[in-house]
C-alpha cells in the first residue's frame, strides 16, 4: 500500500539533498523536502516559501524554541550592555570629578603664579630704585673724597 501511495516519490530532509538526487536519477523522480518544496520529474521546482507558512507542529515548536533561545541570548546581551553602560557612566562621573579638581588646582596655581609675578615686578622696581640710590651715594662719596683730597692738598 505504501508503494501504491508514494510510487516514485522520495522524501528528503533538505532541498540540496533533493537536487543532488534529481541529478543522480536524471530528473526521473518526484522528490519532496520536509519543508514542502517539490521537485517534479523533468526538473520543475514548486512549493517552498508559500508552504512554509503551513509548517507542521513539530517544526513550529522547533522554530519557537529557536526564537526563545534567540530572545534569551539577546536579553543576556542587553543586560551585559546595560552593565557596561553603568560602568562607563561611573567612569565618566569619576573623570568629571577628577577634571573639576584639576581645574580648581590649576586656578589656584594660576593665582599663585600671578601673585609671584607681581611680587617679582615689585622687587625689580625696588632693585632699580636701590641701584639708583647706590649710584647716587657712590657719586656723592666720590665727590666727597675728591673734596677731601682737594682740602688736604691745600
pLDDT in tens, 109-142: 999 999 999 999 999 999 999 999 999 999 999 9
CB atoms within 10 A of CB 62: 12
Q: What gap in Å lies between CA 61 and CA 2, rounded to an integer?
A: 28
Cβ neighbours, 10 Å, residue 45: 14
Of the candidates 61, 30, 59, 36, which has an alpha carbon nearest to the alpha carbon of residue 49?
Answer: 36
With a CB cutoff of 8 Å and minimum separation 6, the contacts of 33 are 11, 12, 13, 14, 15, 17, 18
* Integer Cα distance of 148 and 116 in angstroms: 46
Give 51's pLDDT tier (boundaries 50, 70, 90): very low
pLDDT in tens, 24-38: 888 888 888 888 888
User: What is the distance between the alpha carbons of residues 53 and 69, in angstroms, rounded to a whole number?
Assistant: 21
What confidence tens digit (pLDDT) does each residue in 68-81 have? 999 999 999 999 99
**What pLDDT score was predicted for residue 153?**
76
Helical ranges in the chain per DSSP H? 2-6, 15-24, 49-52, 57-153
Which residues lie below 8 Å from residue 30, measured CB to CB, with a gap of 6+? 7, 8, 9, 10, 38, 39, 40, 41
| Average pLDDT across the chain, whole number | 87
pTM exceeds 0.85? no
Distance CA 28, CA 40 (A): 8
What pLDDT does 103 receive?
97
Do residues 63 and 71 make contact, with C-beta atoms less than 8 angstroms apart? no
Amino acid at each position: 500500500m505504501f508503494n501504491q501511495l508514494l510510487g516514485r516519490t522520495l522524501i528528503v530532509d533538505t532541498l540540496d539533498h533533493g537536487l543532488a538526487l534529481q541529478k543522480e536519477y536524471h530528473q526521473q523522480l518526484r522528490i519532496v523536502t520536509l519543508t514542502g518544496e517539490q521537485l517534479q520529474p523533468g526538473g520543475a521546482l514548486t512549493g517552498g516559501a508559500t508552504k512554509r507558512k503551513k509548517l507542521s507542529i513539530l517544526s513550529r515548536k522547533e522554530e519557537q524554541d529557536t526564537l526563545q533561545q534567540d530572545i534569551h541570548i539577546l536579553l543576556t546581551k542587553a543586560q551585559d550592555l546595560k552593565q557596561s553602560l553603568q560602568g562607563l557612566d561611573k567612569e565618566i562621573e569619576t573623570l568629571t570629578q577628577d577634571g573639576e579638581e584639576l581645574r580648581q588646582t590649576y586656578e589656584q596655581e594660576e593665582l599663585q603664579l600671578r601673585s609671584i609675578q607681581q611680587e617679582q615686578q615689585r622687587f625689580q622696581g625696588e632693585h632699580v630704585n636701590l641701584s639708583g640710590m647706590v649710584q647716587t651715594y657712590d657719586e656723592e662719596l666720590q665727590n666727597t673724597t675728591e673734596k677731601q683730597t682737594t682740602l688736604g692738598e691745600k
